[in-house]
Amino acid sequence: MNIHDFIRDIPDFPKPGIIFKDITPLLGNSEALVYCADALAGLIPSGVHIDKVIGIEARGFILGGMIAERLKAGFIPVRKKGKLPSEVYTNSYGLEYGNDTLEIHKDAIAPGEHVLIHDDVLATGGTAKAVYELVEKLGGKVMQCNFIMELNFLNGRDKIGDRVVSLIQY
């Protein structure tokens, strides 16, 4: 299946000059959705155990939960500021079109747990790096960061290193 067929470009969103890669057509097609979840879970190297899968708000929640189920791992939502009900660690970061803050529950990861970070797109790498730092703060070990797509021209991989994999690249 060609995942590119299910990604549409939305020009000037969320601001002029940005071409947003919209995954809602992929999410709306049951065969593409299942294929994508299976393919993302399949990016974990053989023999690597994952204890927790992090889904980054909001699109990372959808496939992150599906990946966790396939890997028989727990699921952790990393949310925007003020959305989690218990004690949190916070990390602010820059986006290609602004700034944001993410939070994780302080008890979400036990020291030494193996973690997969998932989101829909790797752009500048600011979001993934912020989550990576939160995992390390909790004592977890990031085994991989996986994405549906990677925007190579924004060099996001440079911020998070060699543990990055994606299904498609632009």
* Catalytic residue list: 59, 96
CB-count burial class (<10 Å; 0-12, 13-18, 19+) for 167: middle
What CA–CA distance (Å, rounded) separates 133 from 131? 5
- DSSP E strands: which ranges in 60-163? 74-80, 88-95, 98-105, 114-122, 141-150
Angle at 68 between CA 66 and CA 69, to 5 degrees: 65
- In one-letter notation, the amino acid at residue 29 is N
Cβ proximity of 59 and 67 under 8 Å: no
What CA–CA distance (Å, rounded) separates 146 from 148? 7
